[in-house]
Each structure stands twice: as C-alpha cells, then as structure tokens.
Chains A and B, each alone.
Chain A
Amino acid sequence: MIWVETIVNGLLLGGLYALVGLGLGFAFGVMRIVNVAQGDFIVAAAFLGVFLLPWTPVHPLLVIIPVAIAAFGIGMLLQWLLINRVLGHDQIPQILLTFGLAIVLRNGMVELFGANTRSINVGDLRFMGFDFLGLKLGVLPVLILAIAVFLFATLHLWLRKSDMGRLIRATADDHRIVQLCGVNFRSIYAVAMGLAMALSAVAGILLAMRGSFTPYSGADRLLIAFEVVVIGGLGSFWGMFLGGMVLGVAQLVALKLDPASGLMYGHIVFILILIMSPSGLAGAFRR
C-alpha cells in the first residue's frame, strides 16, 4: 500500500513537473527557441511570489495571478528587446543570449536575496490531507495537479479555438507565410514568449508552495523542464504531461529506495528513455 501511495504521490508531483516543462515546450513548439534562462525565471517568479504574498487578499494561492501577469509582461519584453534581435537560421546566438541572461539572473538573485532556502507559505493548506480509497493524500498536491491539468486543457483549447491561438499555430507552422499575410510574426513571438513565461511562473510559484527554493534552483528546474519536453517527444502537448508523470514517479520511488539520491534517478530515467526511444514516449506510442 505504501508503494501505491508513493506512485500516486509521484503522479501528483508529475503533474507539476509537466507544468514546469510546458512553458519551455510551448516556446520551442511555436518559435523553435529554447530559452535556457527559463529555469532561473521560474525561480525569479517564486521570489516575486514571496514578496507579493503579504499583499495578497483572500488566500495565498491567489498570488499566482499577479505573478503570472507580471511574467507575461516580462516575457513579451524579453522577446521584443532581446531575443527578436538575434533571430535567424542559426540557433546558437539565441541559446547563448539566454544562457548569459540566466547567469545574470541567478547571480543577481543571490546578490539581492542571499542564498537562503525559502518557500511560499500557504498556511494550513500545506498540511491538510484526506483519505482516498485508503490512501493518505495531501490537499495541496491534488490542488496543484488540478491546476496543471486545467492549464494544459485551457491552453490546448485556446490554441484550437481562439483567433490568437490560430495565429500562433500558423506562426509555428511557417512564420514567413504569416508575415506575408500581413501579421508581424515578431509580435506573435512576443505573445508566445509572454505566455510561456506566465506558464513557467505559475509552475515556479507552485513548486515554491510544495517545496522550497534557493536562487540556485534554476538549473534543476531547467533540467526538469527540458527532460519533460524531451521525454514527451519535443512539442507533443500531452506527451509532455506523460513525461512529467514519468519523472515524478521515478523521483519519488527512487527517493524511497535511496533517500540521498535527489534528482539523480530522474536524470537516469530520462537517459534510459532517450536510449530506448529517441523521439520520446509520444514517438514510441505513435510507432
């Protein structure tokens, strides 16, 4: 029974991991851009959450909303002011630019806030639990999974149904043709990057509510996001969800067996999947 509980908890954590990967995967799917600074932006969002917490009315969980809006704006600015200037066939300038940004951000946060471990306090919610078919589950992890599923579904529907979603999908297919139709693809890119950052920010806040973070957590967050996207098969939407689940379960089961292992077994599972199925899990099922 303890193992069933571990696996269920892994699935709950996996939903959050999937959300961590969603921003990176979405940006890659639309723009073929890999924002290496995403992990550090996730941590920055958590810091913003910590500071906005005292001013958040009703419930601490609502701090997600202002942080997501701020992240959307920052993402648009980032794309307009920096990444749009180095777009081109060669991906190296974009990747190196965001890598530089990541270094600035990480060390800036250490300088400003110190290297202490923090978390976002959600009050009693963190300790509340309930019994479900004999399993003891936390309310917060279940709530977080619900938020992750909701965001995946909403983004999916929004991309299918709305005008902006249609434009984004068209841009992902071929940004030059979108340009020919009189839409500046660079502004679409800015919107997409804003969205990617807002999604990452939500993931960052939720991670900080479930666990803890330091200014150095960005690297781990980036690796998780990246593994989720690759396991999911680069751009497959629900594949990413599956990827998160696989990582979450792998990590919690491994922590049960070897409490000092940290993220190591998650990394190993990722490499194993890469060896067995290079196009990710989604690719394995498609075949």
Chain B
Amino acid sequence: MLESIVALPGDEIEIRRKEGKELVIGPGLRKDNQNTIVSMKCGLLKKKENFFWLESHQKRYVPSRNEYVIGIAVTKSAETIKIDIGSSEYASLSFLAFENATKRNKPNVEIGDLLYCRVLTGNKDMEPELVCIDAAGKASGLGVLKDGFMFKINLELARRLLSGSNQFLRELSKNIPPFEITIGMNGRIWIKTSSCKQTIFLFQAINQYSNVSESDTENFIKNLLKDYSDWE
C-alpha cells in the first residue's frame, strides 16, 4: 500500500499504469495539460485496485451524489424545503421525495427539524438536491430525526466511522445500553440515548476518537469502558 505518502498541492503523482486497466482518480487529484496526475490538496495518497485518491482532513462539506447527509430544514415553500447540509448553498428537498408522500399527503416537516437524506444531485454547477427515499420508494431509515442530539465532527472522522472495517461503534454498542446513532457524510452526527449521561459519554468518546489511530481502537475502547463504569 501507499499508506505513508503525503502529497502537497502541485506534487506530481507517479502511478505505474497496468496494461489494459483504466485509471480512476478521485478527490484531490487532477490531470494537468501534460497528462500527468497532479495533486491539488494535501493528504494521504490512497489506492484501491485502479482507484487513486487523496484522503484529506477537510471540514467543509462539498456534496456529491449518493452520499448520506444530515441536514437542518431552513425554509419551507409549497413544493420544496431548503435544507442546510453545511455546503456552500442550501440543498432542496421535494415534499414528494418522502415515503408515501402525495400532493395531498405531505410529510410533516417543521423548520429546524433534522433530516437524514441522500444526495441525489451533487454537481458543482447545480443546487444540491436531496431525497428521503431509496430507489424502491421506501424510507429505509431516511427522513426526519426526532429528539436526540446533533453535533459536528470533521469529515474525515465521519468517513472513518462509516467505513465497514471500523470496529469503534460495533465494539462500543456491545458494552453499553442501546442507543440510536446516525452519521452524515457532511460531518454531522445525531445520537439518541435513554439518558443524558450516555449522550455526554458518546459525544466525548466520538470526539476523542478523532485522535486515535485505527490500530489503537481496541485499547481506546477498553479505557473508555473503564471510564464508563466509573460514571455509573
């Protein structure tokens, strides 16, 4: 793996191309006029098969298609709701993009509500568009998030928590009372627990986790749970 290569803007990334395989470059990389691949942000160079991208610590969210985000309803009009998803402009969410919604039967969304949605169009030239249903027209977890507590983390931590190989939440949930958690790719986390104490505990645990490496996760959780039993 290319784990430890840290690229800075303008660095030329030399990738040996395999015959017959197309190269795909992702966030942080671009092709310049000479057909070489150049980085335009700083970050760790990552690779998966023929995909290359830079993993960087960004705080500002830039919407892209099929990402799941947590938004806040800002304004309502007849057909759509404007949602703040932390990007440069508000995203629009149609009232019809909810499960079982019709022209007459509109979903109950108030200004200030939290919504868990999927980005339908995330194009730099267009206003982002959100939906709260999947391809089959089912909500499957999307929609208004009631009660609970929302806080912000950096985007890199959100991606880490969501990645399939990450054990942090899995291990944590085995050892403490059940809770609900929703992580948006835009760096917002919503948690709902049965007690205030647990909310504070989770909030602190997740914030502290941003400084913990993947290999130290196990130890970190052990220490956390020790603390947690002291709290009780």
Q: Do A and B bind each other?
A: no
Chain A interfacial positions (CB closer than 8 Å to B) = none
